[in-house]
Structure 1
């Protein structure tokens, strides 16, 4: 279906990603797709928005699986305007909401799973979101905990409180962060009602539908905050659990939070390579090229409400850098980048 508002953009995008040896691979990040918009996190797409985004990709780009894209970069055989779709963490709506849309458009995707959350646990940032959502008063005074005093008078102020608390807790040591989040949740005296993360059988169903399953550590820690042995076990343990779950190899990895030089370092890149993964993704913006380190592939989400804005976001990202360049056996350099703060905690 021709989209009049996109006329002329395909030619520009083909120039930016012409295929073959000069190809660039755009890798998109998603975390969740909701049935309807969430006023506390409006950047999460709803099903209707995700549907037109996937339709645009199917009609205007060349969607490939991430593994196919990585191998195509190495061979110099990618088509023009190649794009891969990825999801992080393992939310249940990946299976219940996103998968039907992907199947509708015939699109492949890769799902990076933090395996410790497959059995009913909530991720810490989701507990923050639900605490702010359910807080019964118009003010949230957490000064005794050193976490500020927040107005919750309307959706905008609740969004500010949610983001402020997530940013305040994100880089605490893992145990300290978990203790603070648990204390906040227990102030509400409510149960964890909905199941947010996938169950094992839903991950198997994704694999059975032809989707790639990748590792995302066991408990989603900031790897740079861990001792080397613990970091390695987090990476290797998630891979072993997923291979046992789906009955096949797990070739791809995503760094939690994913900012190079801040959330992970060169030692973690070496671990991923030594453990036998074929490629790994970060959250550094850009599009991978033939010389990009396969263990630090950049990704991007074009935040926009309109097809033209979405397309232009993809085009601008193709014109960004290609991320760290592959080097020798000692491992590639790790460079920092600005991570999109609109997807906190991931």
Structure 2
């Protein structure tokens, strides 16, 4: 799997042939007929690269993201997430309802994804962790860039408890990155930060400082009619924080900072990492409601329906490259039970 905090996308490589559109729509209509029987498919993305990444070939990039947006626009009714929340509440979803969301706040969301979304007339919601704006970098991207660009065929991290890593070939580098991410992911926030700093001291690489959005890019998305959502300040795993007060501050402060940037209410939230019962708990869903968000999304698979918890809406992205299997996976996802806390 690629090293995103959650989710994995292998995009279909070619647009869906026109002769498959009617059967695909018919299948999706059966699964999501609209109204009180409607199903809401919410797709989750992170980065959209300008070109394919040889180290992580499954990562989405401009060409295949463009293909998939065209396919989705042909087969689904893609609506803003706030409109979908109102539809769920009122039992008035359109048939084949879908929403597009992005997590974390990568600069390529504004530089590459936005023009493609505009080309297809697709609205989207961008969940932004404010602590990385204007030159910051997420811990996992630091790890990725350190190991991606580390010299030699082996990397000795035994002195910081991460072992000896083989990196001579691309599959070995990929495996090394995933192993380190897995080892650090659920550490307390401060412990994880210190471990990454130790890696920076050991590996002679200076990671990029332009991966994340600027405040101006957040405003650009907002002014283009896209929704901006909260995603905390520092992207902690809320369930691993030392106390509820610290978690509350992360959620509330992130909202306040975004509202000061766009001068508009921020009404949607995405739980960092997002797995119910593992990454966030009931208390965190209550906090999100108390702080004033209208709805929140997880990373549990499934499709929301009338009566779903608006503060634990599921999200999903299928991983099939073939267009037909992609649509079949989308339909199957609509029938899955939804995990919540």
2:232–2:255 contact (8 Å) kept in structure 1: yes
Q: What residue is the counterpart of 2:80 in the other structure?
A: 65
Q: Which one of the candidate residues 238, 247, 258 is aligned to 2:254?
A: 238
2:228–2:266 contact (8 Å) kept in structure 1: yes
| Larger relative contact order, structure 1 or 2 (CA cutoff 8 Å, min sep 6) | 2
**Distance in 1 separating the partners of 2:120 and 2:337:** 29
Structure 2 residue 211 is the aligned partner of structure 1 residue 196: yes
Judging changes above 3 Å, is the alpha-carbon distance between structure 1 residues 188 and 146 closer, same or farther for their aligned structure 2 residues? closer
Using the size of structure 2 for normalisation, the TM-score is: 0.93
**Distance in 2 separating the partners of 1:186 and 1:304:** 39
Structure 1 stretch 281-290 or stretch 133-142: which is displaced more?
133-142
Tell me the secondary structure at the aligned position of residue 88 of structure 1.
Answer: strand
Tell me the secondary structure at the aligned position of residue 305 of structure 2.
Answer: coil
Deviation, 1:5, is 4.0
| Paired residues for 1:332-343 under 5 Å | 334=341
Q: Which one of the candidate residues 286, 298, 302 is aligned to 1:270?
A: 286
Q: Which one of the candidate residues 223, 230, 249 is aligned to 1:208?
A: 223
Deviation, 1:200, is 0.1
Q: What residue is the counterpart of 1:77 in the other structure?
A: 92
Q: Which one of the candidate residues 245, 248, 265 is aligned to 1:229?
A: 245
Deviation, 1:291, is 1.2
Structure 2 residue 132 is the aligned partner of structure 1 residue 117: yes
Deviation, 1:323, is 4.1
Deviation, 1:316, is 1.5
Structure 2 residue 331 is the aligned partner of structure 1 residue 320: no
1:293–1:323 contact (8 Å) kept in structure 2: no
Structure 2: 5+ residue stretches without partners:
1-15
Q: Which one of the candidate residues 285, 291, 304 is aligned to 2:307?
A: 291
**Distance in 1 separating the partners of 2:183 and 2:100:** 30
2:105–2:129 contact (8 Å) kept in structure 1: yes
**Distance in 2 separating the partners of 1:48 and 1:112:** 23
Deviation, 1:139, is 1.0
Q: Deviations over 1:206-243 (max 9, x none)?
A: 00000000000000001011111110000000000001
| Paired residues for 1:254-265 under 5 Å | 254-265=270-281
Structure 1 stretch 136-145 or stretch 285-294: which is displaced more?
136-145
Q: Deviations over 1:46-93 (max 9, x none)?
A: 101000110011111100111111111111111111000000000000
2:146–2:207 contact (8 Å) kept in structure 1: no
**Distance in 2 separating the partners of 1:207 and 1:181:** 33
Structure 1 stretch 314-323 or stretch 2-11: which is displaced more?
2-11
1:139–1:152 contact (8 Å) kept in structure 2: yes
1:252–1:278 contact (8 Å) kept in structure 2: yes
Q: Which one of the candidate residues 258, 262, 266 is aligned to 1:250?
A: 266
Across the two proteins, how many residue pairs are aligned to each other? 325
Structure 1: 5+ residue stretches without partners:
325-333, 335-346
Q: What residue is the counterpart of 2:190 in the other structure?
A: 175
**Distance in 2 separating the partners of 1:130 and 1:116:** 19
Judging changes above 3 Å, is the alpha-carbon distance between structure 1 residues 323 and 75 closer, same or farther for their aligned structure 2 residues? farther
Tell me the secondary structure at the aligned position of residue 83 of structure 2.
Answer: helix
* Structure 1 runs, 4 residues or longer, greater than 3 Å off: none
**Distance in 2 separating the partners of 1:149 and 1:165:** 11
2:35–2:93 contact (8 Å) kept in structure 1: yes
